[in-house]
Structure 1
């Protein structure tokens, strides 16, 4: 593992992580177990990035160019050889170059993408924010009733329904759209553009 701050360990997956998003992970490959343990020891996040080609397990996958830092919130090792992680999305990054380490996990030299600045929800997008709040409340309530203390809330602990970027990111996570579409949303430069596309989708599918 390098000491250079612009190189980060990568975890290529068939998923797209957005800033503030919650992502549970089940880690069992030795290369990623070692990588995660090193991150926990050093108190650093790792990068989650969608796989462009290849598979999650086995060989070395080719990642997309834009990813999101994953901060470890909690972990457990209920089963020998398996780490259960609860992670939360941080800052987005752009990959400049990658390299394969001796154990076949990938590191990338990256540049961080500026975080979305807080942007109040516009009157046009109020209905989308309200619909999201209803969905989050419903999923949370059902989960708590069905599983009790074992419920792992798929949403962040703090809600920001008045912030355009936060609302756009949560919708981007839960919309039933292809992974490549989610990746394009993640790669957009600003929260307003992401919210505009989400709003159009919600209108076209009569969600709002």
Structure 2
């Protein structure tokens, strides 16, 4: 396990996934300081699901697993508040947290060992087919994903297929957090497949 690294945290009532985009509005001083710090250091920050507490006010209790957020764009809304467009990158596990004087939560994190491209296994071929259909449906609404025809190579990658399905399927925050805690991309697909099977109507009740 690599040594811990200090990472400023932005707890939210949502789960950021690797490769997924997220829009943020920033107005609290601690998070304005976070953005300035990340800009100076050309580094990202961590986003974790809130287990206890709220997004504003007193520091919330974050989940132990989160994802590094890298700022891709920024601007302001009509109220003059700072807006950010970030994208999820590396997964991490928080071993300890501390609170700065400005209320910003900082974590000692270890980066998860995510392998590179992992070939899809035969039992998960239908998951790639489903993802391709979803990409064709939402291509205009999610231009960053692109249409399936431009992602044929990614559709053979178990990790990419799993994260994009987790992004597009109607999962709960708890389910997405469970996926973040799983290192094996094939096991993540098994979890997704199991949840999808649970949603299927029972023929006996039809």
Deviations 1:169-190 (A, max 9, x none): 1112233232112111110121
Q: Determine the structure 2 residue equivalent to 1:131.
A: 130
Q: Structure 2 CA distance, aligned partners of 1:133 and 1:107?
A: 38
Q: Structure 2 CA distance, aligned partners of 1:81 and 1:103?
A: 22
Q: Determine the structure 1 residue equivalent to 2:72.
A: 73
Deviation of 1:70 after TM superposition, in Å, equals 0.6
Q: 1:193 aligns with which of 169, 177, 187?
A: 187
**In the alignment, is residue 173 of structure 1 matched against residue 162 of structure 2?**
no
Deviation of 1:80 after TM superposition, in Å, equals 5.4
Q: Structure 2 CA distance, aligned partners of 1:63 and 1:29?
A: 18
Deviation of 1:154 after TM superposition, in Å, equals 6.0
Which blocks of at least 5 consecutive residues in structure 2 are unaligned?
202-206
Structure 1 vs Structure 2 CA RMSD: 2.3
Q: Structure 1 CA distance, aligned partners of 2:156 and 2:71?
A: 26
Map of 1:3-14 to 2, 5 A cutoff?
6-14=5-13
Q: Structure 2 CA distance, aligned partners of 1:81 and 1:62?
A: 29
Q: Structure 1 CA distance, aligned partners of 2:7 and 2:146?
A: 24
Deviation of 1:56 after TM superposition, in Å, equals 0.7
Q: 2:158 aligns with which of 142, 151, 164?
A: 164
Aligned residues: 195
Does the Cα contact within 8 Å between 2:113 and 2:183 map onto a contact in 1? no
Q: Structure 2 CA distance, aligned partners of 1:42 and 1:156?
A: 31
SS of equivalent residue, structure 2 residue 96: strand
**In the alignment, is residue 182 of structure 1 matched against residue 181 of structure 2?**
no
Which blocks of at least 5 consecutive residues in structure 1 are unaligned?
144-151
Q: Determine the structure 2 residue equivalent to 1:106.
A: 105
* TM-score calculated relative to the size of structure 2: 0.85
* TM-score calculated relative to the size of structure 1: 0.85
